Structure 1
Amino acid sequence: MSKTARDSSMNDAKNFTALVVDDTAIIRKIEEMLLNSKGFKTKVVENGQEAVNTFIEGNSFDVIIMDMEMPIMDGIQATKELRAMGVKGLIFGVTSSESKSDIQAFVEAGLDEYFPKPLDFVKIDNILKRLEK
């Protein structure tokens, strides 16, 4: 293992859990792989309703990566419902939308932070810094 790989692994998540919520299979897989490579234990679901149901079933996560635009229940509504249920985990919104009003509505729904897609290692490191505070 190189010194760089060793140094970056020291900052990896230790027993943190993440829920990935996205309707696009390839995005779910990429985000899951990025999070897992940083040490997160990860679950993936396809829409906001599945995310809400996951919490109703008694699950909890340190981090939720929530897509904004999804069928059945979008990220804005799912974030509102999760916060209304008392979910305290960090919710990071992601979207490829450039609509400032939609992004503002997403943030106001209860996000801890918003990231433009795609999620990458730099953004995951920012998530880890928030978790470690």
Structure 2
Amino acid sequence: MAGAASSVDRKMIRVLLVEDEEIHRVVARAVLKAAGRGVELEEAKNGAEAVRRVREGGAGAYDLVITDGQMPVMDGHEATRQIRALGVTAPIVGLSSDSLAPDVDAFIKAGADDFAPKPLSKEKLDRILAKFGLS
């Protein structure tokens, strides 16, 4: 139980997952649950729903936003722009099967802090959490 004391000291992180495909939400839920720390997960099935959740919760409602790129109603790029416009400074990470340089660049130009190709894995999540001081 060497790591038990240190995990108690860490606060729970609030994550907003923006993903329209159920299979990718299932994978992300499993990876986040296995992260080895407390994660409070909320989900949005499109960008418009994500923007609404952020608006209702306030700019500091989430510690991390992970968003897909291509979704119905509002895509991840536009959602990222609108979330940033609401004053959110928490890290936003684009997550997409489209991982060519122009796709990654589109996320960064929209205001995302990082990008990871799908599917989300424990290794990718660990890197994201460490990069933003959330691990």
* TM bracket, shorter-chain basis: 0.7 to 0.9
For 2:25 and 2:99, the matched residues in 1 are separated by 20
The residue type paired with residue 56 of structure 1 is: R
In the other structure, the counterpart of 2:44 is 45
Aligned to 1:18, which of 15, 19, 24?
Answer: 15
String of CA shifts for 1:65-87, please: whole Å, max 9, x gaps.
10011010000000000001111
The residue type paired with residue 113 of structure 1 is: D
For 2:133 and 2:50, the matched residues in 1 are separated by 24
* TM-score with structure 2 setting the length: 0.84
* TM-score with structure 1 setting the length: 0.85
RMSD over aligned CA atoms reads 2.4
String of CA shifts for 1:74-133, please: whole Å, max 9, x gaps.
000000000011111110101101443232111111111001111101111112212327
Deviating above 6 A after TM superposition, structure 1's stretches of 4 or more consecutive aligned residues are: none
Secondary structure of 1:73 counterpart: coil
Does structure 2 retain, via aligned residues, the 8 Å contact 1:32–1:44? no
For 1:40 and 1:127, the matched residues in 2 are separated by 14
Name structure 2 gaps, 5 residues minimum. none
Name structure 1 gaps, 5 residues minimum. none
Q: How many residues are aligned here?
A: 129
Identity %: 38
